[in-house]
Chains A and B, each alone.
Chain A
Amino acid sequence: MTELAETQPMSVRSTGWRPELVPLVLFAAFAAAPLLASASGAEGYVLSLLTRVMVFGIAAMSLDLILGYGALVSFGHAAFLGIGAYSVGILASHGIDEALVQVPVALAASAAFALVTGAISLRTKGVYFIMITLAFGQMLFFLATSLAAYGGDDGLTLASRSLVAGTGLIESDTAFYWVSLLCLLGTYALARAIVASRFGRVLRGAKENPVRMEAIGFHPFRYQLAAYVISGMMAGLAGCLMANQAEFVSPAFMTWQRSGELIFMVVLGGLGSLHGAIIGAALFLLLEEFLPEILHAASFMMDAGFRAHLAENWKMVFGPLLILIVVFARGGIIGLLRRGHHG
């Protein structure tokens, strides 16, 4: 875990102005996107893609809170997406489609699940922690597949998006985009405040040296558990948004592969910077979305059949790309930005 420590200095004081501007530029880009989208001619498509990016950004950022700042490699984080999504889905199927009810229920359910599983998982270390969080994630996944009343394997379709205070506020994609952006900003501000606080410093201290933290009178376990619960609740919120965007809920929201993708987004963006996770989510989803087309365009000298075949099997390029990123791009995008800046 040594290189985690290297990427740590958050306040780049030296001559740095660029690293601090990154989150500003990022959020400005999200805010400006709807204007550009309406000019692009494919407004619906661009907006829904970017909404997806922001929602996954919230989820990845929540993971970064415990992974980047606490070195807790949770391999079951998608479970919280599932809890959030199923809270919306199950309540809606019983006729309760008010977001002001659904979201608090989702947050409470996520917190309860995080509290119980976290208390057990945090007793273990290292590899065992990875595996036990994975096991809890799988537990919930199989629970969802066996909920025959709520669609089982096939999932359930929402009749419509949730109401907000009795109005169809987020019925339009544009409004939903702004609501998602608001959620992203809110969770970012909250996470930023948490890592800057005394609580956040204890969390980081526990990551660097738990024995020393205990020697000076802290119980790392309590701080880690609290961080785990907060992180789970944020991911639960992302799950609510995800269900509303798709107007559909299914166990596929919480496969272990999805948990792996979330970890990947965080590492791709750069551990322990919060906005890095959002950038990672954006890159990952955009790559997933456009790699088939990029491959199709890049193989212009080949015959049409081969090009179609290549675009169809884009994952054969995506997989090795993931490996190369892990092996060569240490520190993620944020790491690259910082290195580029310093020399």
Chain B
Amino acid sequence: MTTTLLLVQALNGIQFGLILFLIAAGLTLVFGVMDFINLAHGVQYMVGAYLVAAFSAWTGNFGTALLLALPTALAFGLLLEVLIFRHLYDRDHLDQVLATFGVIVFLNQAVKFVWGAAPLNVPVPEILSGSVEIASGLLYPVYRLAIIAAGLAVAGILYGLVSHTRVGMLVRAGATNAPMVSALGVNIQRLFMVVFGFGAMLAGFAGAMVAPILSVEPGMGDNILILAFVVIVIGGVGSIRGAFLAALLIGLVDTVGRTFAPSLLRVFLDPATASQTGRAIAPMLIYIFMAAVLFFRPSGLFPAKR
């Protein structure tokens, strides 16, 4: 029983970790290449979810909705870049935090204005509904497996793009030393735009993928944004590889910790105290983990800058 539970929780953890990775990938690049703290990255995830909700209500088909939502999320990200973020690149981190905080306030209210405060539901696509038996007597929803597959596929594509293309090379170079890349004659402004739009689209994709299994509601991006920050700080700012590993770690620690912290503590404490302390400690685990990582390695596990 415990092994099946552990397996299910591990799969859930990986799925959550991959979603975190999709968000953190854009964030870490924007952060690493442009040295820009974008708190509004979480609302881009929310916008992705709302777009897919709106398009699937309109077309009645999740696949079409996803295909429509991705370019819209990209366009939306570029719009924000041109309107607001472009004016903040040469400001200090404090101003960036505050201005993007303003973007969050606006967009959280704007989706309420357009779609109402009540959570929206997106049906799981027909073809991916139901469960599959992955081990004897263990059913797991197909859609969650599809999220894992999609997440891994995107991670693979991203790896290919970043390590084997010219743009990817420039992005890596930019994360290590942006002024030098600019001095070598690269149009860094355009590189910023590409990275930014791509990051916004990835966050939107993450939002679109979870829309059928979570409720789509205003403010849904706020907490996941903080988790994405935890991921990139643990992974090392600007490092895609670090973000990937840290995202999986965080996903697993959080999901598995929430299930097993109470039962682990039962070894030391009486059941009532154990379950209470366990429930208190579980949500704090990842932050304790982050503090521990930063204590020993103040610039994360895989820092891009040297």
Contact = CB atoms under 8 A, between A and B. Distances in A.
B94 A263 contact: yes
A127 B99 contact: no
B287 interface: yes
A123 B37 contact: no
B290 interface: yes
Contacts of A322: 98-99, 101-102, 105
B37 A130 contact: yes
Interface stretch (B45-53, B181-189, B205-213, B225-233): B225-233
Interface stretch (A20-28, A242-250, A313-321): A313-321
Contacts of A117: 291
Contact of A75 (B97, B102, B106): B97
Interface residues of B, number: 47
A128 B233 contact: yes
Interface string B25-43: 0000001000001010000
B170 to A, nearest CB: 22
Contacts of B284: 139, 142-143
A124 B105 contact: no
Interface string B112-146: 11000000000000000000000000000000000
B56 interface: no
Contacts of A267: 94-95, 98
Contacts of A127: 31, 37, 93, 233, 237
Given A139-B284, A147-B280, A131 B229 contact: yes
Chain B, interface SS category: helix
Query: Main SS of chain A's interface residues?
Result: helix
A267 B295 CA distance: 29
B290 A320 contact: no
B68 to A, nearest CB: 25
Interface of B: 31, 37, 39, 84, 87-88, 91-95, 97-99, 101-110, 112-113, 222, 226, 229-230, 233, 237, 276, 279-280, 282-284, 287-288, 290-291, 294-295, 298-300
Interface of A: 1, 3-4, 67, 73, 75, 117, 120, 123-128, 130-132, 134-136, 138-139, 142-143, 145-149, 256-257, 260, 263-264, 267, 309, 313, 315-316, 318-323, 326-327
Instruction: Pick the 7 closest A-B CB pairs, nearest first.
Output: A319-B106, A322-B102, A319-B105, A142-B283, A315-B109, A323-B102, A139-B287
